[in-house]
Amino acid sequence: MNGLFIGGEWLPGSAGEFDVENPADRTVIGQVADGGPADATAAVDAAAAALPGWSAMPPRQRSEILRRTYELMIRDIEELTALISAENGKSLSDARGEVTYAAEFFRWFAEEGVRTGGDYGVSPAGGTRTVVTHKPVGIAALVTPWNFPAAMATRKIAPALAAGCTVVLKPASETPLTALAVTHLLVEAGVPDGVVNLVPTTDASAVVSTWMADARVRKISFTGSTGIGRVLLKQAADRVVNSSMELGGNAPLVVTEDADLDAAVAGAMIAKFRGGGQACTAANRFYVHADVADAFTAKLGAEVEKLTVGPATEGSQIGPLISAKAVDGVAALVDSAVAAGARISHRADIPDSKGYYFPPTVLVDVPADADLVTTEIFGPVAPIVTWTDEAEMLRLVNASEFGLAAYVFAGELQRAMRIGEAIDAGMIGINRGLVSDPSAPFGGMKQSGLGREGARAGLDEFTETQYLSIDWP
């Protein structure tokens, strides 16, 4: 069913239904129940009722449900791949990779969740023993974006459930079908009623504000824009709510004069064009040493011009952007850069279609202060800025208010690591164009967010630390 999922039941939405569109051709591919504030409260009611039983369940038992969900996602990988491609537009290859990545969070946290940890010690002053434990934070509100509709949901659901929390989830209105499918698999895996509650909506502000105002909600985990993240943090501050924020990015990609250019281009194609550049970790601005800029641009441009753009069903490598607004925004950034002196050096073809397509593009002679460089593009555009002085390059790299991801390609590993360590970002790809892994702590610095997802840190985000001070005469 494409309804709300609250307390183990599929329900209609209080605001009716809304259409879900395929951005490749703008056809309607489904209708989903549209939730409102009353539904948001009902979801918290269900999560509150389920919390005592779920948090008291032995970790191994919770782990088995998560492990089973992983297995079910792998079983249904082709159906989930097709669903992601249909509502998000990304290529089948990218969508299939996302399903594998998304499923892995259930397996990782199934294993990590049984390692409950804790500590025991003797007070230095004597007279007491201290036992440190970790408790589930409680009901967690999860808000996910449209660019990775499976992975962003599982990256939050899995650690929350492993920690013993119950959840209320609001997926992006552009891509709710994948979250619905994952919820179905959780139910099939045996998750108890009320542990996972899903509220799709076209009125995100009303639903999320309801959760933020509810004293029973003790955790907010949000992935999205920095602007909305700031609003949620202000709301969280009113009640001192535990907050995890994965926000905007503006990832630099650095190429030194001694880099292996073929490897750098291969990495750049992944870092920039995976998912059409619609990723918070996507390489957004290229800093290429002047001695190799022409050669790098020629090699990168040749690969870009070979990209096939179109619907996933036609075997394309690059799909559409998510909306007409997204296309207009990317086009405006490119036009502004060209007006400031940049030049389009290479471009791929796009289909004659009603879909929301933008041609993969490489630009050279880009001013370092162009909006195309300082703004998160969220599209398949690679602006190249040249450099000769490493210190000045690092100054430009770190001038951004964002610090999520960065990429460094250099021939000498020690130099690559030195540059990487000098960059103010939470994740650095060294001679590779992919940084995400369930076993690593995903997250950023500065305006790119708070907290981490994945690894042990991802589980800790959903727990509170408590200690017992025991009299020991």
pLDDT digits (tens, 9 = 90+) for 85-135: 999 999 999 999 999 999 999 999 999 999 988 999 999 999 999 999 999
Specify the long-range contacts of residues 385-389, CB closer than 8 Å, at least 24 apart.
385/285, 385/286, 385/287, 385/288, 386/287, 386/288, 386/289, 386/290, 386/293, 387/287, 387/288, 387/289, 387/290, 388/289, 388/290, 388/291
What is the mean predicted confidence (pLDDT) over 250-275? 98
Dihedral of CA atoms 84, 88, 92, 96 in degrees, nearest 10, equals -40
pLDDT digits (tens, 9 = 90+) for 14-43: 999 999 999 999 999 999 999 999 999 999
Buried b (16+ CB within 10 A) or exposed e, 40-56: bbbbbbbbbebbeebbe
List the end-to-end C-alpha distance of the chain, in Å, as a whole number: 61
- Rounded mean pLDDT of the chain? 98
Per the DSSP assignment, residues forming a β-bridge with 467 are 132
Which residue matches tokens 């919390």?
51
pLDDT digits (tens, 9 = 90+) for 128-174: 999 999 999 999 999 999 999 999 999 999 999 999 999 999 999 99
Q: Which of 191, 97, 173 is nearest to 182 (CA)?
A: 191
What the block records as the tokens of 139 is 């009901």
Q: Which of 263, 288, 280 is nearest to 426 (CA)?
A: 280
**Which one-letter amino acid corresponds to residue 360?**
P
pLDDT digits (tens, 9 = 90+) for 328-371: 999 999 999 999 999 999 999 999 999 999 999 999 999 999 99
Cα 256–Cα 261–Cα 266 angle in degrees, nearest 5: 115
**CA–CA dist 49, 166 (Å, integer):** 9
The set of catalytic residues is 246
pLDDT for position 313: 87
Dihedral of CA atoms 411, 417, 419, 422 in degrees, nearest 10, equals 180
Strands (E) across 214-349 are located at 217-223, 242-246, 251-255, 283-289, 343-347
Dihedral of CA atoms 284, 289, 295, 297 in degrees, nearest 10, equals 20
Q: Which of 32, 226, 245, 282 is nearest to 156 (CA)?
A: 245
Q: Residue 1 — very low, low, confident or very high, per pLDDT cuts 50/70/90?
A: low
What the block records as the tokens of 364 is 């050279």
What is the mean predicted confidence (pLDDT) over 183-212? 98
Alpha helices in 216-260, H assignment, sequence order:
226-239
Structural domains in the chain, sorted by start: 4-247+448-471 (3.40.605.10), 251-437 (3.40.309.10)
